[in-house]
């Protein structure tokens, strides 16, 4: 799916040194597209990288965010989820199965009033409700 060389190149282009933990975290994010938490990533990788530290996962994710390799997804007060899809899109969190779904949204036509003079750096759109599998 994603060759190590491609991942290395991708990180280098974003000025992130492609260490082994970083490559593995990126590979995980891209492969599963499941908006995992730091803890989920750690648990998924620690078998393959027994020396992995949870702090390294946090460090890596922070690095990814500041280099725009990943986006944090804070859909409610709980843990932060991470997403390697960095183009703008919405997130829908199902209240039953807790899964986070992507959806496309075009905010150009959604007229915002009251933001003249503000410099917008990023926008996050989070919906909550029931996913098709969980609507009864």
Partner DNA sequence: AGTTATAATGTAATCATTACAAATTTGACA
Partner DNA sequence: TGTCAAATTTGTAATGATTACATTATAACT
Which residue in 15, 76, 87, 98 binds its own copies (CB under 8 A)? 76
Cα–Cα dist 72/46, whole Å: 22
Q: Is 23 helix (H, G, I), strand (E, B) or coil?
A: helix
Phi, psi of 37 (to 5 degrees): -90, 170
Positions that interact with DNA (CB under 7 A) = 16-17, 19-22, 37-39, 49, 51-56, 58-60, 62, 77-80
How far apart are CB 76 and its own copies at their closest, in Å?
6
Residue 55 binds which of DNA, Zn ion, Mn ion, none (CB < 5-8 A, kind-dependent): DNA
- Distance of closest approach, residue 128 Cβ to Zn ion, in angstroms: 11
In the complex with DNA, which residue's Cβ is closer, 79 or 102? 79
Dump the DSSP string for 24-93.
HHHHHHHHH-S--BHHHHHHHHTTTSTT--HHHHHHHHHHHHHTTS-EEE--SSSPPEEES--S--EEEE
Choice from 21, 102, 105, 131 touching Mn ion (CB under 5 A): 102
Q: How far is the CB of 56 from DNA (least distance, A)?
A: 3
């Amino acid at each position: 799916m994603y060759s190590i060389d491609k991942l290395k190149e991708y990180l280098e282009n974003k000025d992130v040194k492609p260490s082994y933990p970083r490559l593995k975290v990126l590979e995980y994010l891209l492969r599963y597209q499941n908006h995992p938490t730091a803890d989920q990533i750690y648990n998924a990788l620690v078998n393959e990288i027994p020396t992995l530290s949870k702090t390294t996962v946090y460090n890596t994710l922070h690095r990814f965010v500041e280099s725009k390799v990943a986006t944090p997804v804070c859909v409610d007060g709980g843990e932060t989820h991470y997403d390697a899809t960095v183009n703008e899109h919405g997130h829908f969190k199902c209240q039953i199965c807790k899964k986070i779904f992507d959806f496309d949204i075009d905010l150009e036509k959604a007229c915002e009033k009251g933001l003249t003079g503000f410099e917008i750096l990023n926008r996050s759109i989070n919906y909550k409700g029931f996913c098709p599998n969980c609507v009864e």
